[in-house]
Every structure is written in structure tokens, then in C-alpha cells.
Amino acid sequence: MEPAAQKTNYSNLDLVDECDSFPYYQVDPDLYAASISTYYELRVRNHAYGIGYLLPSVAEVFRGVPNWDLNDADRILTLEAGDTAAERSAAVEQTLLALRATGHFKVLDKWRDELYAVYGRNKELLFNVERSAGPLFGVVMYGVHLTAYVRTKEGEIKIWTPRRARTKQTYGGMLDNAVAGGIASGEDPFESMVRECAEEASLGEELVRKGAKACGTVTYHHIRTEKAGGETKLLQPECQYIWDLELPKDVIPKPGDDEVEEFYLWSVEEVQEAMRKGEFKPNCALVVLDFFVRHGILTCENEKDYIEIVSRLHRKLEFPTL
């Protein structure tokens, strides 16, 4: 089978497979069992369920580290510190700062000073974790994505498509959604989206608040590849809150920070061609597919894998979510 990195003609299902890459039990129970038996499960003391998966090579680093217990027999790494989210968060931060100082994990070189929330089964905050470390623990992380588009006089949809700065820490130079970013711990998803609109696309707050239409979520369980930078095979289950924003023709998104190189206003056909070439950041391709489904561009008549694709855009994740 041709390696994903070498593909030049991605089908829509290929794009889904690249992002939602963790096996499904329903499809191949043996492969699923073999996969999860490879990882260590992350738990928090007094919470008898998993909240993430770690590579054995990652779990091994926590052996003998204060506030952590590594159980090889059951393949479980448990955060033993504290009884409150604040105490657990402090212990996680202390450990990660020490690991960062040793330079052991490449992903920690991309330290963001942004805290992301990890939740339990009752939607309670268990602890906060530095954004760049999320994939080490394999915990569910949350973000916002907005598709900005215009309609021509003939009714044709054109989509504002940015190219990520080539200096970006992850997926540099790839295509993106008009606005995308992570949700900081304690931040409301809509407020996060409004903030990102200003930072990434210079879209005014009033315009965004009045015009943005909530369109649900896209969820997937990704296994990181070389495209992400840092260690490969780390697990990254994610939930992205989705919005659409139809822009007036005289409103032109402009980079508001150094994360976007430029914006293109592309026809649906131009976007589809770039997707076939694998130019989109993997999760952004899923958001575009979701947009196509909702706007009747991708249908059961023109896509043979329609049911599979639509269901895979909304995966039920293996770990607790909000």
C-alpha cells in the first residue's frame, strides 16, 4: 500500500482515514485489541477509568517519578497527586517542566504556555495540561474551526482558504480552515472562536457574533505522523466545534498574526483539487468535508463512500468528553 505521505490523489475516504486513523472495534476487533494492548492507559487516582493512551516509550519515562504510578501488569499509568484539579494540575506541570528541561520529548520543544482541560466522566475538570503535551498523554483536546465563504451573484460558493505559515510549529505550509485554534481551559467555545477570528483572520467581533452559525462538532481519533512534527504514533483524540460564516463580498480575511501566510478565495472545485493533492492539514480536510455535506456539495449521488464518511466525521471518542 502506498504510504500516505507519498499519495498524490486522495479520495475523500483517504482524507478521513488519514485523520481518523485509530482502529474501530466494530470494523476489526483483533486490530483494535492489538492496538490498545500496545499502549498504556492513563488514569487519575480514585477514578477507575481511562482518560488517554500513552506509548510504552512515553509511559516508561514516568517510572519512579513522584506523583505517578506505573503498573506494567495492567499497563496503566496513574496520576496519584492531589484531590483537586488544582493540585493535580500543579503536579502535571511540575513533571512536564522537568521533562522539558531534559529535552527528552520533541513535542515539548513546541511549548505554548497554554493550558488545556482534561475532563472526567461527570464532565468535571480533572486537571489542566500544557497544550504541547496533550499528545503525550493521548487525552481528548478541544478546538474551534470556522469556514468563511461568499456566494457569487450566480449562487456559487467560494471558500476562503488560508495557507499556514511555513514557520508554524505543526503542519507548516499546509492549507487550513479560515479560522482554527485550540480552546484554553475555562474558555467558552464561542468566545474562543471570536478571539481566533480576530487573531487569525482580522474579522471584526460584531460581524462574527452576528453572522457565525454553529454547525455542531467534528470528532476523530488521530495517530500523529511526521507531518505533525515531534514524536510519531502519539494519540490525539479531538473534538472540534464548527461554525460557518458567510461573509459580505467586501470583507476580506487578512492574517492578524504570524500563523497564516495568505488567504485564497477558491471555488469548490479548487478546494477539492487541493484536497485530492493532500494539501490540507488532516483535521481541516475533515471540516471541509463536513461543510460539503451540510451544503449539499457532497452527496450520496456523487460519493460512493458517503455513509462511511458522514459517520466517521462524528466519531464517538473512547474517553470522557464534555
Contacts with 204 (C-beta within 8 Å, 6 or more apart), sequence order = 198
Residue 107: alpha-carbon gap to chain centroid? 15
Query: Which triple of cell numbers denotes residue 312?
Result: 466517521
- What's the sign of the alpha-carbon dihedral 255, 260, 264, 265? negative
**In the chain, what are the domain boundaries?**
10-20+140-312, 29-137
Query: Would you place residue 160 in the very low, low, confident or very high pLDDT band (cuts 50, 70, 90)?
Result: very high
The pLDDT of residue 104 = 87
The pLDDT of residue 168 = 79
Contact between 160 and 169 under an 8 Å Cβ cutoff? The reply is no
Contacts with 138 (C-beta within 8 Å, 6 or more apart), sequence order = 39, 42, 52, 53, 54, 234, 235, 236, 237
The pLDDT of residue 1 = 36
Which of 168-172, 277-281, 309-313 has the lowest average pLDDT? Answer: 168-172
SS3 241: strand
The pLDDT of residue 83 = 94
Contact between 118 and 125 under an 8 Å Cβ cutoff? The reply is yes
Q: How far apart are CA 116 and CA 107, in angstroms?
A: 15
Give the chain's mean pLDDT: 95
Is the pLDDT assigned to residue 192 strictly greater than 60? yes
Phi, psi of 162 (to 5 degrees): -90, 155
* Architecture in CATH for domain 29-137: 2-Layer Sandwich (3.30)
Locus of grid cell 492507559: 41
Q: Can you give the pTM of this predicted structure? A: 0.95
Q: Do domains 10-20+140-312 and 29-137 have the same CATH topology?
A: no
Superfamily of domain 10-20+140-312: Nucleoside Triphosphate Pyrophosphohydrolase (3.90.79.10)
Is the pLDDT assigned to residue 3 strictly greater than 50? no
The pLDDT of residue 167 = 82
Mean of pLDDT values over 46-55? 97
Name the residue with higher pLDDT: 259 or 2: 259
Query: Would you place residue 2 in the very low, low, confident or very high pLDDT band (cuts 50, 70, 90)?
Result: very low
Where would I find the beta strands (DSSP E) of 152-247? 157-164, 179-182, 213-223, 235-246
Which of 4-8, 80-84, 118-122 has the lowest average pLDDT? Answer: 4-8
The pLDDT of residue 256 = 83
Mean of pLDDT values over 11-20? 98
Query: Which triple of cell numbers denotes residue 21?
Result: 486513523
The pLDDT of residue 6 = 55
Mean of pLDDT values over 142-146? 98
